[in-house]
Amino acid sequence: MKIKISIPTERIHNPIISESIIETGISINIMVANIDSTYGELIADVNDFRFDRIKNALEFRGAIVSILDRPIHRDDEECVECGACISVCPMNVYCFDVDWNVQVDEKKCIQCGMCIKMCPHGALKLGE
Q: Which residues bind other proteins (CB under 8 A)?
A: 80-88, 95-96, 99-101, 114, 117-118, 120-122
Query: Are residues 124 and 72 in contact, defined by beta-carbon separation less than 8 angstroms?
Result: yes
| Of 64 and 88, CB closest to other proteins | 88
Residue 19: count other Cβ atoms within 10 Å of its Cβ.
14
- Least separation in angstroms between residue 46's CB and other proteins is 27
- Least separation in angstroms between residue 120's CB and other proteins is 4
- Least separation in angstroms between residue 30's CB and other proteins is 20
| Of 25 and 98, CB closest to other proteins | 98
| Of 12 and 116, CB closest to other proteins | 116
- Mapped onto helix, strand or coil, the DSSP state of residue 112 is coil
Burial 48-79 (b: 16+ CB within 10 A, else e): eeebebbbebbeebebebeebeebbebeeeeb
